Amino acid sequence: MTTVGLVGSGSIGLAIARLAVDAGHRVVLSNSRGPATLRDTAASLGPQASAATSAEAAAAGDIVVITVPVSAFPHLPAAPLAGKAVIDVCNYGPERDGPVPELDSRSLTSSELLQRYVPDAFLVKAFNNIFVKHLLSLARPSGAPDRSFVPIAGDSAPARATVTAFIDSLGYGVVDAGRLADGWRQSTGTPVWATSYGPFSHERGRPADEATIRTALALATR
């Protein structure tokens, strides 16, 4: 059983937590407002879920999932993330995060910027390209003919392998999209982002197989 630390527990983080609990993992939720605000949510997920501070969630996780705004990167607990596989689910939104020159000029991806703040973590970009309701509805067991795939990007082969196994347990296959610097191919507005699984108006979404994801990644331009 893997313990998954959630640093940020918004809608996408809670969806990952739900899938993780259903797959038999433990989850530790956290947010910027403190564990008291998450106790009812943790209770609703069952006995395998608990609430903690962000530093405690980062320390507890065998795998850590970060789902925070880019503007919150400087406040992340870097020390307890050292040496761990960390899933980066964050997307840059200048209207929310304020302008970030390196991201606006595309000299860095948001994951490369995150790496500066958590230099000893092994980052893997994943789950940032799918609407939360589709993430929940499209999960399928391994071998299912309508199983969907998600792209991942990261510099550490062991971390990518760890995250691939975790994502498989949640009900998704994985397409290796390259290094962390290649994560722009799955960022907001690219062909693989969101609409690969159907429009937001489609409540259940549509499965996206490996070929669909590979084709969408190949169509990305800068």
For the chain, the domains span: 3-218
Mean pLDDT over residues 45-69, rounded?
98
Model confidence pLDDT, tens digit, residues 119-170? 999 999 999 999 999 999 999 999 999 999 999 999 999 999 999 999 999 9
Would you say 126 and 165 are in contact if contact means Cβ atoms under 8 Å apart? no
* Closest C-alpha among 147, 136, 204, 197 to residue 174: 147
If one looks up domain 3-218 in CATH, what number appears? 3.40.50.720
CB 76 within 8 A of CB 57: no
What's the farthest any 2 CA atoms get from each other in the chain?
Answer: 45
Range among 18-27, 102-111, 199-208 with highest mean pLDDT value: 18-27
> Nearest CA to 13 among 63, 47, 56?
63
Q: How far apart are the first and last CA of the chain?
A: 40
Radius of gyration of the chain (CA): 16
Query: How far lies 200's CA from each of 136, 195, 221, in Å?
Result: 13, 8, 23
Average pLDDT over the chain reads 96
Whole-model pTM: value is 0.96
- Alpha-carbon distance of 175 to 103, in angstroms, equals 24
The helices-and-strands tally (H runs, E runs) of the chain is: 9, 8
Which residue in this structure is represented by tokens 């530790």? Answer: 28
Task: Report which DSSP code applies to 184.
Answer: G
